[in-house]
Amino acid sequence: MMLVAFLSAPVFASEHVVDLTDETAEVKEVVVTSRGRAYDVEEIRVNLGDTVRVTYINGGGRHDWVIDEFEGARTAIISGGSRETIEFVADQAGEFEFYCSVPGHRQAGMFGRFIVVE
Ligand SMILES: [Cu+2]
């Protein structure tokens, strides 16, 4: 019973916020790693209009990294030990969710916030 409760609760490797809103680089870069069914980044913050480059490093299992609301904000489902880099434009402001689209993983806690500041 306790084991089931533990496994089904969202578990983040850290309460890690990546705030890129003060960065002046032309492309805002962030690396997200997963361990089990959790990303090590809980929140990413960028500015409206930013080009965002995400490198997703899969620490094990089959996972992806997806935001539904932005074109191109989706990796393939990759296997453990591999990585993929994607790039997209944060062309709408607000709070969104990045998540793993493998069935059951988002519900198991494999998600985080993606915040676009106007
Ligand atoms: Cu997953």
How many Å lie between the centroid of ligand 1 and the Cα of residue 22?
A: 30
3-state secondary structure (DSSP) of residue 113: strand
**Residue 8 domain-assigned (yes or no):** no
Average pLDDT over residues 54-76: 98
Domain membership of residue 14 (yes or no) is no
Q: How far is the CA of 78 from the centre of ligand 1 (A)?
A: 9
Residue 10 in any domain: the answer is no
What is the rounded CA–CA span in Å between residue 113 and residue 95? 7
Average pLDDT over all residues of the chain: 91
118 CA distance to ligand 1 centroid (A)?
A: 30
Is the pLDDT at 2 greater than 60? The verdict is no
Cα 92 to ligand 1 centre (Å): 26
Tell me whether residue 15 is in a domain. no
Residue 78 lies in a domain: yes
pLDDT at 20: 95
For residue 84, give the CATH number of its domain. 2.60.40.420
Structurally, the chain folds into a number of domains equal to 1
Q: How many CA atoms lie within 13 A of 41 on its CB side?
A: 24
Please give the residue that has the higher pLDDT: either 103 or 4.
103
Domain residues for the domain of 59 are 21-117
Residue 9 lies in a domain: no
Give the distance (Å) from ligand 1 centre to CA of residue 17: 20
pTM for this model (two decimals): 0.86
User: Does the pLDDT of residue 11 top 50, yes or no?
Assistant: no
Q: What would the pLDDT profile of 80-98 be if each residue is shown by its tens digit?
A: 999 999 999 999 999 999 9
The whole-angstrom separation of Cα 9 and Cα 109 is: 7
> For residue 94, is it within any domain?
yes
What confidence tens digit (pLDDT) does each residue in 25-60 have?
999 999 999 999 999 999 999 999 999 999 999 999
